[in-house]
Amino acid sequence: MDYKLKIALCDDEKRFLDLERDIITEYLEQKGLPFYLDCFSSGEELLEQKENLETYDLIILDVEMKGIDGISTAKKIRENNDKVNIAFLSAHMNYSTDGYHVRALRFMLKTTDDLKEYMHECLDRVLESIDLIDREVTLDFTIGRRSVRIADISYLKSSGNYTSFYTAESTKETYLLRSPLRKVTDMLEAFDFVSVSAKETVNLYHVSDVSRYRITLDNGVEIPVSQKKYNEACREYTLYRGKNV
């Protein structure tokens, strides 16, 4: 079953709530990640969702809200949920120390100029902290819209303005996406896909060995690594092995 990232936004300013929703929607759609996004206009409204509070991957709270404020809302959530990622938005950074008491993931300055950058960085951190290998991406391939499990993708290969997806079971091309490899690589970066040349990108999950200018996948396929990309590929592989041993 396809797992969907679940996020809650809580802000009593509608224009910011709409902006936050649009930024997150664009970010996740560009990465091909299925998701649920729930919006709330008060802390009280959010706290009424007692069962749902246990299922969110991320809750973003405006600090300064009418009624119960964001910090107090977070404290209520933490009484029963020690694992959910919580991030705060505020126009005043002097609240940031309060966020540490509820182990806030991020404290973001609430400004229209920089909000997109702050939220992208926060979402990047969330994706790094959860296991993504069993997730699926849903994309519009040339054969139609399909969902593909991340663990089943072995590597990607450039075909001009198209990208070929190869499965882990064989080197047979299974899907063709009308999008250049560079763009697809950026989209899948959060899933530990690494560019090894202008023509190919590999899923580190399937890399068994990195030798001089060559990567070997767990199905025996060998992929050349360009001189320009070699050091970066080695670094990313080492980091990946370090966090997955």
Indicate whether 18 and 96 sit together in one domain: yes
Query: In angstroms, rounded to a whole number, what is the distance separating the alpha carbons of residues 97 and 119?
Result: 19
Indicate whether 197 and 96 sit together in one domain: no
- Residue ending a domain, among 83, 108, 129, is 129
DSSP, residue by residue, 62-96: ESS-SSS-HHHHHHHHHTT-SSSEEEEEES-GGGH
Indicate whether 13 and 125 sit together in one domain: yes
pLDDT of residue 84: 87
Indicate whether 98 and 175 sit together in one domain: no
Query: Three-state SS for 4?
Result: coil
Query: In angstroms, rounded to a whole number, what is the distance separating the alpha carbons of residues 37 and 9?
Result: 8
pLDDT of residue 1: 35
Half-sphere exposure of 178 (CA within 13 A, CB side): 6
First to last CA, the chain: 26
Indicate whether 165 and 185 sit together in one domain: yes
Indicate whether 169 and 99 sit together in one domain: no
Write the CATH number for 229.
2.40.50.1020
| Residue 153, both tokens | 């993708």
Phi and psi torsions of 108, nearest 5°: -110, 135
Query: In angstroms, rounded to a whole number, what is the distance separating the alpha carbons of residues 98 and 104?
Result: 9
Indicate whether 214 and 186 sit together in one domain: yes
pLDDT of residue 94: 65
Half-sphere exposure of 170 (CA within 13 A, CB side): 4
Write the CATH number for 12.
3.40.50.2300
- Residue ending a domain, among 101, 129, 157, is 129
What is the residue-level pLDDT of the chain in tens, covering all 245 positions? 346 789 999 999 999 999 999 999 999 988 878 889 999 999 999 999 877 787 889 999 999 999 999 999 999 999 888 888 999 998 876 655 566 678 888 889 888 888 999 999 999 888 877 766 677 787 889 999 888 888 899 999 999 999 999 988 755 657 999 999 999 998 888 788 999 999 999 999 999 999 889 999 998 999 999 999 999 999 999 988 877 65
Indicate whether 41 and 105 sit together in one domain: yes
Indicate whether 29 and 112 sit together in one domain: yes
Indicate whether 12 and 125 sit together in one domain: yes
Query: In angstroms, rounded to a whole number, what is the distance separating the alpha carbons of residues 145 and 186?
Result: 20
The parent domain of residue 34 ranges over: 5-129
Indicate whether 30 and 125 sit together in one domain: yes
Indicate whether 218 and 151 sit together in one domain: yes
Cβ contact 224:159 at 8 Å: no
Number of folded domains that form the chain: 2
H or E stretch at 147: strand 144-149
Cβ contact 98:107 at 8 Å: no
| Residue 66, both tokens | 């009418």
| Residue 78, both tokens | 């933490």
- Residue ending a domain, among 82, 107, 129, is 129
